[in-house]
Structure 1
């Protein structure tokens, strides 16, 4: 009698295999910050989605008086049509999102983007500050935390490109390869110049998807083609970025809170949790992502604390240097020796 060989128990410390990604795709995602998936959408699927976008396009322009040549977005797109809703768990892409983020995720945003040809475009520097679409990375007001000089891995976006973007200056997104591994503050440094070798213009055929880190610097090329650029974006982030032992505090408790206490308990100035950008219902944004004035009273509190700290530092500095009360400076003090509070 042959005794079957006993298989070794799985190593609990061995990484789980990927649902959909290859090793090379995962490496590219980690190093470059994005991967492209050609033919993620079939031609028939692309046609259906373009039909949906055209339907929404007509409704949006009529209801908002949007000019035919004006670019626009529709936010919370998944609520506008079943075809858009279905993409939140699209079988070809969701496994890839799970591969890079894990399973404890949620939809943070979904939007339709339409950008018609720019007939009056004046040639300018790609992604220039003050231009029609400058270099940036996606973040809420007040920004993401910075850890060891970079933005931690908090979000993935999936772009579905429905129109032909294979030509230069067809409105395609541009990304800076590997920029998610650098300081986001460099974007705003006028002396910093992006290496042209790192800029990737995402010139792709209809049906291509891009899975990318939203900390990646990106901008758009002008659309100088003969057709509107149409695409969809779905952003996924982590469900745990919320309180751990409550969902909403008792109304009676909130009623007796100071504004700062209300903020620390996750409450806005009113129970309305949405702000409409430019007053437009087509552009809703969570007030936790785009807070209204007064939603973050801790900002004024922190500014007040900093003023008190600087005043204490200045008083200590004057005592050490034996300056009379109320003195602003002294001719015997070397320039640059005064505390930073006065800068």
Structure 2
């Protein structure tokens, strides 16, 4: 039994690789997040001498502002994440993406072309994930939060290829296997919409030919036995104010324990590989929520 994903959503997630959630963020939350993004964008562009019209990204975004941190266990999307990939998870990455209007000549580039400003790709480490039976194993989901209006064509929206998570990424730019245009979905959404998606999906961006800057946030969740991409440990100050669930999502073990059980030099065991029950507060929370659902209500 799932906590919040409906049968149709689960089917779409399995077959297409993504699910859209309209009004996931309230208008007030969107306004606050846009303000945070604007402040960070201004500060870091100046700090790093980045032109105002250049695309810009902040990684490990959750550590840069309380409003960004709060999204790691968002009450609408986080239950969907756990339904999708299970409770033995942590944050792999969090990033803030800002894309001002781009040069008009970008419109002449074929969508997602290998030599374009943003080629088709799937997310993964350098050298890629292993491919098994022609596909990448299911190891990660991302949540995208869209803060600006992307409802019009060529406003910088992400495009995904439906069902491409079931194909080898080695085929992305294979001229013998061109992408079927009928399977391309441009994520034209209103502010406050979120997307839960499998990062093995092939994706690219449309050029932002609008007059507005595109602003969005992404949070990637993967299994705890895989290393995160943009941090090793968060700051002690951030960890000190976390709930047990949030500590797990930031890769920490219960009570600040180290990675290995005991001091046995002969048979050390990673608690990310063989976790104890107390290392998985997300699992405890999830099971409690399922029981509440069975009894007629979810907190």
Q: TM-score, normalised by structure 2?
A: 0.75
- Identify the match of residue 211 of structure 1 among 196, 200, 218: 196
What residue ranges of structure 1 are gaps of 5+ in the alignment? 1-16, 254-264, 266-343
CA distance in 2, matches of 1:192, 1:228: 34
Counterpart check, 1:170 vs 2:182: no
- Identify the match of residue 89 of structure 1 among 65, 73, 77: 73
Runs of at least 4 residues off by over 4 Å: none
2:12 matched residue in structure 1? 28
SS in 2 for 1:52: helix
What residue ranges of structure 2 are gaps of 5+ in the alignment? 228-257, 271-299
1:72 matched residue in structure 2? 56
Q: Counterparts of 1:151-300 in structure 2 under 5 Å?
A: 151-241=136-226, 247=259
- Identify the match of residue 33 of structure 2 among 39, 49, 54: 49
2:87 matched residue in structure 1? 103
Length, aligned pairs only = 233
Q: TM-score, normalised by structure 1?
A: 0.66
2:235 matched residue in structure 1? none
> Does the Cα contact within 8 Å between 2:160 and 2:203 map onto a contact in 1?
yes
Point out the structure with max Rg over C-alpha.
1
Q: Counterparts of 1:101-140 in structure 2 under 5 Å?
A: 101-122=85-106, 123-140=108-125
> Does the Cα contact within 8 Å between 2:121 and 2:172 map onto a contact in 1?
yes
CA distance in 2, matches of 1:140, 1:116: 27
CA distance in 2, matches of 1:178, 1:88: 26
CA distance in 1, matches of 2:83, 2:73: 14
> Does the Cα contact within 8 Å between 2:104 and 2:209 map onto a contact in 1?
no
* Structure with more relative contact order (C-alpha pairs < 8 Å, separation 6 or more): 2
SS in 2 for 1:144: coil
After superposition, give the CA deviation of every residue in 1:19-54 in whole Å (9 maximum; x if it has no partner). 111110000000000000000000000000000000
